[in-house]
């Protein structure tokens, strides 16, 4: 697999990373042995960037990743996040310097490492000036606890202000065939500053693979049950997107997931997407995306899909925490 650089500070990773969230969080019940086998197979297949976060579980996801990478640390570009705290009830944002200093210690311990390669602020905390949060993250770099800094789901102003405090290597944002909100102003600003892109949910949280036709497939507690795009009416209305992706896939003898990923890899040759899966079969499928070469006609056909999407990606309370 080709190596891609992420930002201008020296960070680089295999062109496709692995999102580990669903292994213990948000998407139903995972199987630990299969999840660990999936991480190992990913590393064997040239994946280096593994993505987790303190809040996934909480804590169980980092523990799982830590277990999986024991003895294989040298092959991994390890990314985790802080700044969302699960209290009793709803999650809260905490971008305070004290929380950055607290969180990193727990992440290092659970991951079983002495340095985190890419440390993200998961969401900007509106109560804390971004300079203070990134100032604390910069101190973690200086202390040798993290190597590179990232931000997730932030707007242009936040990126620019943060970048002045310490170079930001990556912004992780949702980016896929059906979610292209960063293209207008965020991505151009990132490219101007030399900030790399890590697209999350590149498969549209699984929707673009054609695996889900109805919300009834999601078990109780599956996070997608709370997302407007995953209610039955919107899923039915968006089926035409899946039909197009499936038709393009058929022309290439590929799967819809491979086409969704190949689109991201083609449209953003400077990005490292992190498709999420908890099973080896899907991982193998996803890694095959590097062999799918979309034509200009395919790209034009797929390009039209974004304007056809119906349904908000987040409910209002969550939309407020993302800066776009
Ligand atoms: N920064 C943030 O705020 C944020 C938010 C969301 C996600 N993320 C990160 O981004 C990663 C990826 O995003 P995501 O997991 O939300 O969405 P995604 O990668 O777009 O899709 C994951 C879903 O697709 C399914 N899937 C994966 N490969 C498939 C294939 N080849 N065929 C059919 N179905 C397939 C998975 O099933 P199984 O689970 O059954 O394997 C899962 O349900 C996460 O793991 C997480 O690390 C970050």
Closest by CA position to 162, among listed 130, 129, 123: 130
Angstrom distance (rounded) from CA 324 to CA 322: 6
Give, using CA atoms, the residue closest to atom 10 of ligand 1: 200
pLDDT in tens, 128-178: 999 999 999 999 999 999 999 999 999 999 999 999 999 999 999 999 999
Give the C-alpha separation, 204 to 242, whole Å.
11
What's the rounded Cα separation, in Å, for the pair 92 and 96?
12
54 lines ligand 1 (CB under 6 A): no
Q: Give the pLDDT score at 125.
A: 96
The pTM score is 0.97
DSSP sequence for 56-81 = TTTTHHHHHHHHHHTT-GGG-EEEEE
**Cα-to-centroid distance, 206 and ligand 1 (Å):** 6
Q: What are phi and psi of 105, to 5 degrees?
A: -65, -45
Secondary structure (DSSP) of 123-169: S--TTS-HHHHHHHHHHHHHTTSEEEEEEES--HHHHHHHHHHS---
Closest CA to 86 of 109, 134, 54: 54
Above pLDDT 90, what percent of the chain?
86
Span from the CA of 21 to the centroid of ligand 1 (angstroms): 7
Question: pLDDT band at 221, cuts 50/70/90?
Answer: confident
**pLDDT reported for residue 215:** 87
| 123 CA: nearest ligand 1 atom | 3
Pocket test for ligand 1, best of 28, 200, 283 (most atoms within 8 A of CB): 200
Q: Which residues make Cβ contacts (< 8 Å) with residue 228, sequence separation at least 6? A: 234, 311, 312, 313, 314, 315
Residue 199 in contact with ligand 1 by CB distance below 6 A: no
Give, for ligand 1, the residue of 13, 20, 22 to mutate: max count of ligand atoms closer than 8 Å to Cβ.
Answer: 22
CA 30 to ligand 1: nearest atom: 39
Averaged over 216-244, what is the pLDDT?
A: 91
| pLDDT reported for residue 320 | 81
pLDDT tens digit sequence for 44-72: 999 999 999 999 999 999 999 999 999 99
Tokens of 295: 């034509």
* Beta carbon of 51 within 6 Å of any ligand 1 atom: yes
- Whether 313 has a pLDDT exceeding 80, the answer reads yes
310 vs 306: CA distance, rounded Å: 9
Distance 20 CA to ligand 1 centre (A): 8
Helix, strand, or coil (residue 213): coil
Nearest CA to ligand 1 atom 31: 282
Measured in Å, residue 203 CA sits from the centre of ligand 1 at 7
pLDDT value, residue 316: 85
Nearest CA to ligand 1 atom 30: 282
Q: Give the chain's domains with CATH numbers.
A: 3-204+268-291 (3.20.20.100)
Task: Inform me whether the pLDDT recorded for 42 exceeds 70.
Answer: yes
90 confidence band (pLDDT: 50, 70, 90): low
Ligand 1 atom closest to 208 (CA): 20
| Residue 131 CA, ligand 1 centroid: distance in Å | 31
Task: State how far the Cα of 61 lies from the Cα of 73, in Å rounded to an integer.
Answer: 16
Sheet harboring 77-82: ordered strands across?
A: 18-19, 49-51, 77-82, 116-121, 146-152, 170-174, 196-200
Q: Is 321 in the pocket of ligand 1 (CB under 6 A)?
A: no
Q: Is the CB of 80 under 6 A from ligand 1?
A: no
């Amino acid at each position: 697999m080709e190596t891609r650089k992420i930002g201008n500070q020296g960070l680089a990773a295999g062109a496709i990373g692995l999102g580990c969230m669903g292994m213990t969080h948000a998407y139903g019940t995972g199987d630990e042995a299969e999840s660990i086998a999936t991480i190992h197979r990913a590393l064997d297949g040239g994946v280096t960037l593994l993505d987790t976060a303190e809040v996934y579980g909480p804590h169980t996801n980092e523990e799982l990743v830590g277990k999986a990478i024991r003895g294989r640390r040298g092959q991994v570009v390890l990314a985790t996040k802080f700044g969302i705290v699960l209290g009793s009830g709803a999650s809260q944002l905490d971008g305070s310097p004290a929380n950055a200093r607290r969180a990193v210690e727990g992440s290092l311990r659970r991951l079983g490492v002495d340095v985190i390669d890419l440390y993200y602020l998961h969401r900007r905390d509106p109560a804390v000036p971004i300079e203070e949060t990134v100032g604390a993250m910069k101190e973690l770099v200086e202390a040798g606890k993290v190597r590179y800094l990232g931000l997730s789901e932030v707007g242009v102003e936040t990126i620019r202000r943060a970048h002045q405090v310490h170079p930001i290597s990556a912004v992780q944002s949702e980016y896929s065939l059906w979610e292209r909100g960063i293209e207008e102003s965020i991505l151009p600003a990132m490219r101007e500053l030399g900030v790399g892109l890590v697209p999350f949910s590149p498969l549209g949280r699984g929707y673009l693979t054609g695996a889900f036709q109805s919300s009834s497939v999601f078990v109780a507690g599956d996070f997608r049950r709370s997302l407007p795009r995953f209610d039955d009416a919107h899923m039915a209305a968006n089926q035409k997107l899946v039909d197009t992706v499936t038709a393009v896939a058929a022309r290439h003898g590929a799967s819809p997931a491979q086409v969704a990923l190949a689109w991201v890899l083609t449209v953003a040759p400077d990005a490292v997407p992190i498709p999420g899966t908890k099973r080896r079969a899907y991982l193998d499928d996803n890694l095959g995306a590097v062999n799918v070469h979309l034509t200009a006609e395919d790209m034009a056909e797929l390009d039209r899909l974004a304007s056809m999407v119906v349904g908000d990606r987040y409910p209002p309370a969550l939309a407020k925490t993302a800066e776009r």
